[in-house]
Structure formats: C-alpha cells, structure tokens
Amino acid sequence: MEDDVRELFGETADHFGHEILALEIADDHVHLFVQCDPKHSPADIARQFKSYSGKHLLERNPEIRESYFWGGGFWKVGYYVGTTGAVSEEVVERYIEETEHAPE
C-alpha cells in the first residue's frame, strides 16, 4: 500500500504542478512536504492529494473498503497544514525524516 501511496502522490503532484520535497508514510498518517504555486490554497492541496489517492487506492484494493471502511473513504476528514515561513526547508525535511512514525 505504501508504494501505491507514493506513486499516487507523485501523480497528483505532477498533475497540479507541485513538487514533493519530502514524504514519509506511517501506519496511521502521512507527512507530506510540498512546494506549490500560491494560487493553490492549503485546503485545495490537501483535497487534491487525499481525493485522488483515496479514490485510486480503494479502486486498486477493493477488499480494504469492505474490511476497514464500511463503504467510507480512505482518508480521515482532517489534516494539518504548516508553512516554512519561520524555519528553513532543511529543518522541515529533517523533522519529517527523523520523526518516529509509529502509531501513538
């Protein structure tokens, strides 16, 4: 599933003209550091990645819909967005790479 998420996020970034600077996938969440045109709001960017990947993940793996989602979507409704205005890109990339990604 992780490989599919990486592939689908890459396709989404390419389609919308975003650049993925860092991506880490944990069991229960994803850290995505993306550079994009300011014409896209953070809400639009989250929707782009979540809707495209969720739709295709459930199409590729229909068995997980019945087993885990009872017909619902792949991603939870919420998301967190932060910007790099106060810190460098290197700090964000290091945080994403070094953060332990085990479920809490």
Domains detected in the chain: 1-100 (3.30.70.1290)
What does the chain come to in residues? 104
Spatial distance between the Cα atoms of 53 and 31, rounded to a whole number of angstroms? 14
Spatial distance between the Cα atoms of 50 and 74, rounded to a whole number of angstroms? 8
At residue 104, the pLDDT reads 44
47-100 residue pLDDT tens: 899 888 888 888 887 777 666 655 556 766 677 677 666 666 676 677 667 665
15 contacts: CB under 8 Å, gap ≥ 6: 52
Strand, helix or coil for residue 25:
strand
1-52 residue pLDDT tens: 888 889 999 999 999 999 998 888 887 788 888 989 889 898 899 989 988 8
Rounded to two decimals, the pTM is 0.69
Inter-residue contact 64 to 48 (CB < 8 Å): no
pLDDT tier at 102, thresholds 50, 70, 90: very low
Spatial distance between the Cα atoms of 25 and 77, rounded to a whole number of angstroms? 17
Inter-residue contact 103 to 27 (CB < 8 Å): yes
